[in-house]
Amino acid sequence: MHDMKRKSRPEGPANLPEHLPAVMAHARRLAAVPLVRILDLRTSRTAFRLLLLLMMALMLWATLLIPRLEQTVLMDFSKVPSQITILQPEGRIEQLTYASCLMDAVDEARVQIGDHDLMSLPADLPLEPGQAYELSITRRSEFTLMWSGLAVEAISEPLTSVDLLSRSGYDDIDLSDGSRVEQPADDTLVYIAVDKREYRISEEIPFGKVYVDNPDLEVGKTEVTTPGEKGQRDLVFEEIYEDGVFISREQIGTEIIKDPVQEVISRGTKVVIKPIDRRRVGSTVLNSFDQIKSLLKDNGRQNYETFSDNGDGTITVDGKTFAYESVSKRRITSYDGLEVCMHMGDHSPAINHNTASGVPAQRGLVATYGKRIDGKVYPTLPMGTIVFIEGYGLGVIADLHGVHSNHELLDVCYNPGETLNGKALPTANRTSYILSFP
């Protein structure tokens, strides 16, 4: 860009302003001639004429000089504007300005110059009156590229999102591992590095139990034939980190490290009949009865509200789970101590009888068959055995019945008078579970 050349000023006749000091000095010398000398000169006609001609010449010279002096004094070049042309992406601006420097003229034109914009001329360039200037402005923006929390700033001409992504180099990054590039703002690109790590938690695998009937082992006894061993497995998780910061954890699999070994238990089925020990039978029954008494719920004919056979050697009664030794169908009848006394006519008025164990007849007690041999009584089920009878509930073997035709029959007991009031369980074959032996 070239500045316009400044035009030279017009000169007066014979370069009058340059000779002005000499003329003025000559005039001052003439003014200083004494009046006496002038009067003396009048005596000489020739001298007088010369003096008159000189004065006329001076007057003519002054007539020509005064307009030039006025023109010289009145011409103030500080009042001559400069011309500036501003070329910018937003458009072209042309204006006249009296500003002394380029930046002041740009401000007058209300053109904004960003911190990173480029100007073709210095901002502090002095402006000469009457001169023409052309200024080009290149717009530039600041961009931020972030990588794993570190920011790098760059300056460039304004870019589209596509151009910014391409020129940043982020477009060539492998994002198959879940990493990604985000653009939260027009001038910012953020690369988020995703790191997936495997995380394991080891835990034990409990072993199961299986019961095998053993006819050579006494009922109520068990033996472990194959000890159980716990297994081990790893729960495999995938942890996700973004720029080193933990984000989430998700289980993606399970790996068996060691299989558990099932425990095999031999369960006796051999019934060994032992006579009732009169000295201990009461305490044996009470000890078992104390285990179930708080669980009994008066629900009409039942001592429970809910029941289920879990199919794995356990039953659940009112939310409590019990393992059982054996299960079978048995004939079930019912009685209460007051009804027995009235039927036999033992007392008048009738009273509630005690069971064979000495414990008063009541809900939760059950009678089994007892066989008398040589003065001793051998019950089919040991006194104190805990049972569960479907339709009745939990009970303890505490009494004897004399139904010789059915040694497997169980007679369930109710509170005094309940059977007379219609709460007796109808006689029927019902599923019965032996939960434990004393």
Distance, in Å, from the CA atom of 342 to the CA atom of 407, rounded to the nearest integer, reads: 25
Distance, in Å, from the CA atom of 125 to the CA atom of 122, rounded to the nearest integer, reads: 5
Fold of 196-268: Resuscitation-promoting factor rpfb fold (2.20.230)
Most confidently modeled of 34-38, 56-60, 142-146, 350-354?
350-354
CB atoms within 10 A of CB 33: 11
- The CATH code of domain 273-436 reads 2.40.40
Tokens of 43: 């005596």
Distance, in Å, from the CA atom of 380 to the CA atom of 397, rounded to the nearest integer, reads: 10
Instruction: Give me the helix-helix angle, 16-31 and 45-74, nearest 10°.
Output: 140
Residue 1 has pLDDT above 60, yes or no: no
Nearest to 357 by CA among 284, 260, 436: 284
What would the pLDDT profile of 79-119 be if each residue is shown by its tens digit?
A: 789 999 999 888 899 989 999 898 998 998 898 888 888 89
pLDDT, mean of residues 353-372: 93
Say which residues have a Cβ less than 8 Å from residue 287's Cβ, sequence separation at least 6.
Answer: 384, 438
Q: Which amino acid is at 288?
A: S
What is the band of 68 on the pLDDT scale with cuts at 50, 70, 90?
low
What would the pLDDT profile of 5-22 be if each residue is shown by its tens digit?
A: 333 334 444 444 455 555
Distance, in Å, from the CA atom of 163 to the CA atom of 13, rounded to the nearest integer, reads: 68
CB of 382 within 8 A of CB of 438?
A: yes
- The CATH code of domain 79-138 reads 3.10.20.30
Distance, in Å, from the CA atom of 220 to the CA atom of 325, rounded to the nearest integer, reads: 8
CB atoms within 10 A of CB 358: 13
Residue 197: beta bridge partners?
239
Q: Which amino acid is at 173?
A: I
Q: What pLDDT is attached to residue 28?
A: 52
